[in-house]
Structure 1
Amino acid sequence: MNEELLYMGFYKFTMCAAQVSLSRENRLDLLAHPKVDFLKQRDRPSIYWQDKTLIYSTSGLTARQNELAQHKSVNKMYKEDRPSSIWPVKASVLQAVPSPRLEKLAQAKRVSQEWMEDRPVYTVVTDAAKRTSASPRTVQLAKAKDYLAHSIPSTPQSHQENDNGLFSSETVVAPSARTEALAVPKAEHPQYQHDLEILRHVPASAVHAQASDRVCQLAKPKTRKSIFEGYDPYRISPAAKHADASPRIIELCKPPARRQHYK
């Protein structure tokens, strides 16, 4: 609150100073005054300050506002619920005779002739089913299927075992020369070199060897400077100072004709 009063006083002082001609010393004193930090004014009502107090005008409601302020009325055609669940039946209704169509529609729907009740959980086996005997065809169909007899053998017939556990030699086929040549495993190349052993002997000449100056020079890592290390963007090389632009460069430096304005 004290900061707001201080700001209002400073604002009035500024307005008065603008109306009255100030001397050079008073103007310097005014300019030397620090600016007010508006971010500290947290409780201010608005960013627009006024010298005079706000005067609120009282006005009445219009006819439309009064109409909208009224509560919604019940529709004239609205009928309340019946007072009781027991409705009075007229005498004409009691003496009425239904038509044949109404009697037909009033009949309950019958169950379909094809409808069958659900079977019980435990089925009952009849005595006739217990005393019956299966036919030879039924016995044949009841046997489990032998999948091994109908399966395709994975090995040729000549290499299958017989009942005695020996291989059958009914059809013996001798391989051709090409088959025997293809069956020979592939040999290694004469110049093929196997991987070196992990642990191998180091000769004495390698242990006592001295590196040359060239090897030491190549063994040193490269010195890489950073991007902006020793870089002067305002430095112009001597060659660029004595360079002459070519006719093509001069042509490209000129602005287009649509942007050239002649006085």
Structure 2
Amino acid sequence: MANRINQLAQPKPNLIRFPDRRSVYWLDEFPPQKNVSTTAVKMTPRWSQLCGRKRLNAGFEQSRPSPQWEVSVAALKASPSNRVCSLALPLGPTAGWKPDRPLLASLSRAVQTAAASPRICQLACPKRRLGLYSPHSSKNFLVPHKPKRDSSRIQLLAISKADHPQYSQDRPASWPVPKSAREALASDRVKALSQPTQRKALFHGYDPYMVSLAARSASATPRLLVLNAADREHPTRAAVLEML
């Protein structure tokens, strides 16, 4: 029993100081030491067969020992037939094919020495359009003037329309003031109307709730009395006519 207690009292060995141990599992004791540094691998028959070179097929015939071989005398002296010569020729164009026209065609002598007729010169000039600006217009080209005469109707419509006999022109902006207007005197009523209405502000003698004397002495019309009456006491049409 004492030996067991002494065994359990011993500290557990620190195996972390051996990070390069062979086992990935936790061991209670050190792994056994080996004298061989590497693992001895034994070759199997299959591995030995795969390590060998690939053998040729049993039916393979080695008829060409080298990429360069001698040509026979018969092949050197052979002459092609007419069919082989016709097939060796390049394919020609069709019967209706024409080559493209060159960009710079050569002009004949007659074309180079030709002189344009007056009609061609007239047709070559640009057409003159009135009202349209053309950057290629020629100043030397003049259109012959054709005299035209307006009709009597156009001349009649061209005359400006006359004013009505009772039409009066606008009054000028500045005109002389008559003597009566300059010597006129304003009446008292005109002076009273020309003065602005003076109204006192609130808290300065102005009472918006004060009723004027005219409103207090006013009398209602019969129509207002009819409209002011209650619906139950609304008089008939004959009563209204008697009141009027």
- Normalised by the length of structure 2, the TM-score is 0.33
More helix per residue:
1
- Normalised by the length of structure 1, the TM-score is 0.31
